[in-house]
Amino acid sequence: MIDQAFYSILSNTTAITDIVGSEIYPQFNPQPTGIYLVYQGIDYRRPANIDNGPSQRMARYQIDSYGTNPVTVESLNEAVITALNYQSNTAYGHSIQLMRVDSERSDYEPDTGYYSRTIDVSVFFD
């Protein structure tokens, strides 16, 4: 499934795991501590060609980088962008033709003291 392939890309990218280790979670982190990454699929499309045949599929993911140090959070965010933006990948079970960062935003949660950087990524695959 594309979700597993996407997780594999994140968890097998050294620049990401050098910062978060294995702290990469789908949907949410059950026990937030330190710096971590959360991803979730937010949209899946199965368009048809003009002849009603199957076309290239597309999924959109939201990836959130969290931590108490804004510089480290920004470094993690940049590592994720470098790993995904305008890249292709066939190593994890799907033929991913293109991944593209569509938007980026930042936030601070005063109740928890966590900074966050969020990116939305489109993934085009077969």
Residues 31-41 have pLDDT tens digits of 888 999 999 99
What angle (nearest 5°) sits at the alpha carbon of residue 6, between those of residues 116 and 8?
Answer: 100
* Cβ atoms < 10 Å from Cβ of 84: 25
Q: What is the pLDDT at residue 5?
A: 86
0.95 cut: is pTM over it?
Answer: no
Spatial distance between the Cα atoms of 76 and 71, rounded to a whole number of angstroms: 9
Q: Which phi and psi (to 5°) does residue 10 adopt? A: -60, -45
The phi and psi torsions of 56 (rounded to 5 degrees) equal -60, 130
pLDDT confidence of residue 24 = 96
- What pLDDT, in 10s, does the model give residues 78-111? 999 999 988 877 766 667 888 899 999 999 999 9
User: What's the pLDDT score for residue 95?
Assistant: 79
Give the pLDDT score at 1: 76
Whole-number pLDDT of residue 37: 96
d(CA 35, CA 87): 25
Question: For residue 55, is pLDDT > 80?
Answer: no
pLDDT of residue 51: 67
Domains of the chain (ranges plus CATH)? 2-125 (3.30.2000.10)
